[in-house]
Structure 1
Amino acid sequence: MTAAAPAPRTPRRRGRPSRTQTETGPATRDRILEAAREEFSERGYEKTSVRGIAKTAGVDSALVHHYFGTKEQVFEAAIEVAFAPALDAPAALEEGPLDGVGERLTRFILGIWENPATRTPLLAIVRSAVNNETAAAVFRRLVAAQLLRRIAGALDVPDGELRAELAAAQLVGIAMLRYVIKVEPLASADPEQIVRRVAPVVQAHLTGH
């Protein structure tokens, strides 16, 4: 008796992961994000590839595209998770009177940078943004939409967005010199000393008095 011919396999669309690949669920997505943060941190935006992220995560590159799309979209998803602690800054502003927002914001942002667990992914974001315009555009979009506008809304003062941006420029500049470029004596200064000196300047930016 002649054996029945095997049923023809349904062709799969190019670039789309197989059913078994997509059935791995949220754990696989999280693994890809973790791999992306690791790759962007070690290599920067320019030298990181979707293929490299996939290899680190132990998945096919088509699965990375399936979950996130382009490399730019992977980067945005990865930094949004890494940037999440900073997004609580507006809430910190609302925890006390308006005349103390400068100290509260300075202490909050400095605390994020002082913590190694949150500092490492932030360093990766800043380095990528400084060296690549695409990464910088993603970072600007995230900072403007999810941080500065919310800070401005929490302040409820005239020119709130400009005030928030000036305060952010002050704090980002300090972070760059202290944690990225590591200029002394700022790099090894006591955090409380920095808060005492910087908070009044941030207060002036935010409230004008």
Structure 2
Amino acid sequence: MARTGRRPGNQDTREAILAAARQAFAEHGYDKASIRHIATSAGVDPALVHHYFGAKEQLFLAVMEAPIDPGKAIGEVLAGGLDGVGERLIRMFLTVWDSPAGVPAAALIRSAVSHDWSARMLREFVTSQILRRVIGGLDLDPKEGPLRASLVASQLVGLIMARYIVKIEPIASAPRETLVANVAPTIQRYLAGPLEGLDR
């Protein structure tokens, strides 16, 4: 039987799909990258991409080597609604980063600081997998949601840098609950408090 030119299903196929997906997500962003385009670039049928990775979101998480499924984690945080969300969010965030899952995540942050590709991928990850979920899950005002969510992201990224990358003391060694108690009110204010400087 003549070969169709498609790759057989093996580890090389999986790596080819991941390589094509990395390029597509970096060049086109999460929204514009399509499974069909990624499959064509990898030389496989789109059904094979779904076989290995499922939906586009799971493929993106595989590309990012995400240590957790942000959809599940953030969904649990947002399930309690706006009241107390700052405390739930920062506690979940620190719990993940203080676990072994935080090691590859820290490597991604370090890479993003010095490589444009990694920075683009991290930006796509934060935007598509975290900020949108926060905005949608809390039903924030469409005019305010993006700013509120990005302010939260700035606080979390700053905390990552101080505690896990630069390791500024005493933040680096502070008990988790100390940080929760002191950072959560700021997160809560970003999400629920008044915002200044927005056109009404």
TM-score (norm 2): 0.67
1:155 corresponds to which residue? 138
Q: Unaligned stretches of 5+ in structure 1?
A: 1-9, 33-63
**Any idea what SS the aligned residue of 2:110 has?**
helix
Could you tell me the percent identity over the aligned residues?
Answer: 39
- Please state which structure has a larger fraction of its residues in helix: 1
* 2:85 is equivalent to residue 85 of structure 1: no
* 2:133 is equivalent to residue 133 of structure 1: no
Is contact 1:163–1:205 with CA below 8 Å preserved after alignment? yes
Runs of 4+ with deviation above 2 angstroms: 22-25, 27-30, 66-81, 83-90, 92-95
**Any idea what SS the aligned residue of 1:99 has?**
coil
Report Cα offsets for 1:127-178 as digits up to 9, x if no partner: 1111111221121112112210111111112211211111111111111110
Paired positions, count = 157
Is contact 2:77–2:92 with CA below 8 Å preserved after alignment? no
Is contact 1:92–1:105 with CA below 8 Å preserved after alignment? no
**Any idea what SS the aligned residue of 2:172 has?**
helix
Shift of 1:92: 2.3
Distance 1:70 1:89, change over 3 A: closer
Shift of 1:72: 3.8
Is contact 1:72–1:134 with CA below 8 Å preserved after alignment? no
Is contact 2:67–2:102 with CA below 8 Å preserved after alignment? no
Distance in 1 between residues matched to 2:86 and 2:146, nearest whole Å:
15
Shift of 1:120: 1.3
1:69 corresponds to which residue? 20
Amino acid corresponding to residue 145 of structure 1 in structure 2 = S
1:113 aligns with one of 72, 92, 97 = 97
| Larger radius of gyration between Structure 1 and Structure 2 | 1
Distance 1:77 1:192, change over 3 A: closer
TM-score (norm 1): 0.65
CA RMSD of aligned residues (A): 2.8
